[in-house]
A and B are shown apart, each in its own frame.
Chain A
Amino acid sequence: MDRRTPLYNVQKAMGAKFTSFGGWELPVSYSDILKEHHAVRNAAGLFDVSHMGEILVTGENALAFVNNLVTNDILPSPYYKAIYSPMCYENGTVVDDILVYKISDTSLLLIVNASNTEKDYEWISSHSDGTVNVQNLSDQYVQLALQGPKAETILRSLLGDAELPGFFKFMEAELLGMKVLISRTGYTGEDGFEIYLKLTDEGADPECLWNGLLEAGKEEGIQPVGLGARDTLRLEAALPLYGHELSDTITPLEAGLDKFVKLVKDNFIGKEALSEQSGNLTRKLYGFVMEDRGIPRNGYEVLVNGQKTGYVTSGGPFPSLNQNGGLAIIENTGLKADDKIEILIRDRSCAARIVEIPFYGKKYKK
């Protein structure tokens, strides 16, 4: 049976519709996916993302140990910085894409995808030489994401004069009487925060945190948001989803994540394979929008000059742009914006064109 987060009962009582995702029973929507999507773009949305995994790495060698596991370089970052990075196999394909919270040189909290938590824990532990301690603390954390242009106002109303963290930074704070970790990160293409509550901490009350944030955001138009809108929001922002744009058959270079792959770094798992692939890519991730009617979906084939040369990794409606489109891995590295491609939708080839990603890009304080 699927697992449930500590907020299942309160969400059920709110009328949420649930779906199975990565071994979890999670709200897909509370009211209407489109309404929830627009709330995040125009006001604020609150997501329960407690299904995400948390793996704590501690010990004298923790920093170097984690740096060897990820393609990005976490050494130069200051403490209390969140660093996004793919974590690769030796062959350059992806174990997972993760966030590294650099608490100190001896303590790093890794946020991993729900469906990969066990696999990541085993992968990370298997590389330990005994000088670091790797703990899977996923069951101990509730994670909420407060996202949207009003997120800062709402959080500020609860935190008073405390200075909020800047883009991709985090801090420890007391929120609604609870000790939390607040980071300025998200998965929506909007400004916003991810809030971590450790259930083992004294006074930790997930329902009180959830209800308190919804209450504080009431006047600003906050909505609880489910997985349905989480997907349309991240897709418009062209943020990768493991299992779609990244997987154990796709490398981060193919997915266009070059800036998170530091080939100049001394050493890391996958460096050799990725160095070899760099400059010799045979396929690449592109963004496209439909010109014909029809909605592209994951797995649909892509034609370039009438030849099947790729597939859609994620597709759907872009509610903020009034377009349909998606991301596709195409065996052609020379395509540019406005080039014509076709998507095979139920055996009908439909016109589409390559566009720059992200599809939706908002300017906010970074």
Chain B
Amino acid sequence: MNTRPGLYYSKEHEWVRVEGDLAYIGITDYAQESLGSIVYVETPKVGKAIGKDEVLGVVESVKAASDVFSPISGTVVEANESLQDSPELINEAPYENHIAVLKIQDPAELEQLFNDTQYEEYVKSQGA
């Protein structure tokens, strides 16, 4: 399992990278590894307001569809369209390929998320 320092992590295995008032959101290496080959990604519509823990998108492996939950609230300012034709990018580089970018509504929500070492401990405690 790979993590990156400087990112925030959720219990649902999403990561958040903050740049100014924007949050880039993707799924973790642990998540892509558990899913296996990703064959389809559904990204949210630009302009949509999404609450914390609401569905941001869907990632589908060969076997099943999994919801991606937004770890924070915000408005979608960009969806990563390159995933439409190349969903496998998430398998290849999960931290370089975000699913969407949100304009952060409440920076305080970030403080409820894990940092990289806390997330690693969390995954281990889940028996992974």
Q: Which of B22-74 contact A (CB under 8 A)?
A: 36-37, 39-40, 42, 58, 60-65
Q: Which residues of B contact A295 (CB under 8 A)?
A: 39-40, 60, 65
Q: Which single residue of chain A is at the shortest CB-CB distance from B55?
A: A346
B65-A29 in contact (CB<8A): no
Which residues of B are in contact with A by a Cβ distance under 8 Å? 36-37, 39-40, 42, 58, 60-65, 84
Q: Which residues of A contact B40 (CB under 8 A)?
A: 293-295, 317, 324
In the complex with contacts A33-B63, A293-B84, A297-B64, A317-B39 CB distance below 8 A: yes
- The one of B36, B42, B58, B62 in contact with A316, judged by C-beta atoms closer than 8 angstroms, is B62
Q: Which residues of A contact B42 (CB under 8 A)?
A: 294, 346
Q: Which residues of A contact B39 (CB under 8 A)?
A: 34, 295, 317
A28 interfacial by beta-carbon distance below 8 Å: yes
A sample of 6 cross-chain residue pairs with beta-carbon separation below 8 angstroms, ordered by A number, consists of A33-B36, A34-B62, A228-B63, A316-B62, A317-B40, A346-B58
A232-B62 in contact (CB<8A): yes
Q: Which residues of B contact A232 (CB under 8 A)?
A: 62
Q: Which 5 A-B pairs rank lowest in CB-CB distance, beginning with the nearest?
A: A33-B62, A34-B37, A317-B39, A295-B40, A295-B60
A291 → chain B, closest Cβ, in Å? Answer: 15
A28-B84 in contact (CB<8A): no
B83 → chain A, closest Cβ, in Å? Answer: 11
* Interface residue SS majority, chain A: mixed
- Provide the bound-state CA to CA distance between A256 and B109, in Å: 54
Q: Which residues of A contact B65 (CB under 8 A)?
A: 295, 297
Known: A32-B36, A316-B63, A346-B58. 9 other contacts (CB 8 A): A29-B36, A33-B36, A228-B62, A231-B63, A295-B40, A295-B60, A297-B64, A319-B62, A324-B40
Q: Which residues of B contact A28 (CB under 8 A)?
A: 63
A298 → chain B, closest Cβ, in Å? Answer: 10
- The one of A228, A293, A324 in contact with B36, judged by C-beta atoms closer than 8 angstroms, is A228
Which of A228, A295, A319 has its CB near the most chain B CB atoms (within 10 A)?
A295
Q: Which residues of B contact A33 (CB under 8 A)?
A: 36-37, 61-63
Q: Which residues of B contact A34 (CB under 8 A)?
A: 37, 39, 62
Q: Which of A298-325 contact B (CB under 8 A)?
A: 316-317, 319, 324
- Provide the bound-state CA to CA distance between A324 and B84, in Å: 14
Q: Which residues of B contact A231 (CB under 8 A)?
A: 63
Q: Which single residue of chain A is at the shortest CB-CB distance from B64?
A: A297
Q: Which single residue of chain A is at the shortest CB-CB distance from B33?
A: A17
- Provide the bound-state CA to CA distance between A353 and B61, in Å: 23
B29 → chain A, closest Cβ, in Å? Answer: 15
- Provide the bound-state CA to CA distance between A17 and B37, in Å: 13
Q: Which residues of B contact A346 (CB under 8 A)?
A: 42, 58
- Provide the bound-state CA to CA distance between A307 and B95, in Å: 42
Q: Which single residue of chain B is at the shortest CB-CB distance from A348?
A: B42
Q: Which residues of A contact B61 (CB under 8 A)?
A: 33
Q: Which of A220-250 contact B (CB under 8 A)?
A: 228, 231-232
Q: Which residues of A contact B62 (CB under 8 A)?
A: 33-34, 228, 232, 316-317, 319
Q: Which single residue of chain B is at the shortest CB-CB distance from A31?
A: B36
Q: Which residues of A contact B37 (CB under 8 A)?
A: 32-34
B58 → chain A, closest Cβ, in Å? Answer: 7
- Provide the bound-state CA to CA distance between A293 and B40, in Å: 9
A312 → chain B, closest Cβ, in Å? Answer: 12
A349 → chain B, closest Cβ, in Å? Answer: 15
Q: Which residues of A contact B84 (CB under 8 A)?
A: 293
Q: Which single residue of chain A is at the shortest CB-CB distance from B61?
A: A33
Q: Which residues of A contact B58 (CB under 8 A)?
A: 346
Q: Which of A155-201 contact B (CB under 8 A)?
A: none
Q: Which residues of B contact A317 (CB under 8 A)?
A: 39-40, 62
Q: Which single residue of chain A is at the shortest CB-CB distance from B40?
A: A295
- Provide the bound-state CA to CA distance between A317 and B39, in Å: 8
Q: Which of A43-68 contact B (CB under 8 A)?
A: none
Chain A 321-356 near chain B by CB (<8 Å), digits 1 or 0: 000100000000000000000000010000000000
A25 → chain B, closest Cβ, in Å? Answer: 15
Which of B42, B62, B84 has its CB near the most chain A CB atoms (within 10 A)?
B62
Chain A 102-138 near chain B by CB (<8 Å), digits 1 or 0: 0000000000000000000000000000000000000
- Provide the bound-state CA to CA distance between A232 and B37, in Å: 13
- Provide the bound-state CA to CA distance between A9 and B107, in Å: 48
